[in-house]
Amino acid sequence: MRFIHDNLYPLLAALVLVAATTCWFGTPEPTQPKTLSAIPEPWSLPKLVENNNKKSMEAITARNLWGVVAAGGPGADIEPQWHVLGIARSGAERFILLAFDGKPVEMLKVGDALPDGVKIVQIEKDRFFVMTADRKKLAFGIYKNESPK
């Protein structure tokens, strides 16, 4: 062990010193980046493309994305004439508290029909679902800002 300590450690230190010196002086100096000459060229804004909104509106209208518009024109009131006051629960059964045209409050459950003829198919904590005559399932929320989905 004494041989390694006395002879090989200085040899290893000398080899590390030679390798470090070779790396330090053997690497080339970095070259300066080439500067680009500033060539003045005219600058202008790109030309705007004219859009034909009429064609887009005709395409949307032709697709009939929103279904049949209610009779009475674009300003027709399509909101239901009844108002949901809340949802109540008695045991596992839920009820909708419904006000309609100044009549007393009605309690409707799953299977009953709303005043406009659609049937209630499901009642949850904060919304209820109805089935329309054309077999569409709509969701009504009890909060004022929610609309049928």
Average pLDDT over residues 44-65: 81
Flag whether 94 is in a domain.
Answer: yes
Which whole-number Å values give the CA distances from 136 to 129, 130, 132, in the listed order? 10, 8, 5
Check whether 132 has a pLDDT greater than 80.
yes
Render pLDDT for 55-110 as a digit per residue (tens, 0 to 9). 888 888 888 776 665 454 444 444 557 788 888 888 888 988 888 777 788 888 99
Flag whether 112 is in a domain.
Answer: yes
Residue pair 96/80 in contact by the 8 Å Cβ criterion: no
Render pLDDT for 8-31 as a digit per residue (tens, 0 to 9). 888 899 999 999 999 999 888 888
pLDDT number for residue 22: 92
Flag whether 69 is in a domain.
Answer: no
Flag whether 110 is in a domain.
Answer: yes
Domain that holds residue 105: 82-141
Flag whether 121 is in a domain.
Answer: yes
Render pLDDT for 122-131 as a digit per residue (tens, 0 to 9). 998 888 898 8
How many structural domains compose the chain? 1
> Which residues, including other chains, have CB under 8 Å from residue 83's CB and lie 6 or more apart?
98, 99, 100
Q: What is the pTM of this model?
A: 0.42
Average pLDDT over residues 48-53: 81
Flag whether 130 is in a domain.
Answer: yes
Flag whether 45 is in a domain.
Answer: no
Flag whether 123 is in a domain.
Answer: yes
CATH number for the domain including 132?
2.30.30
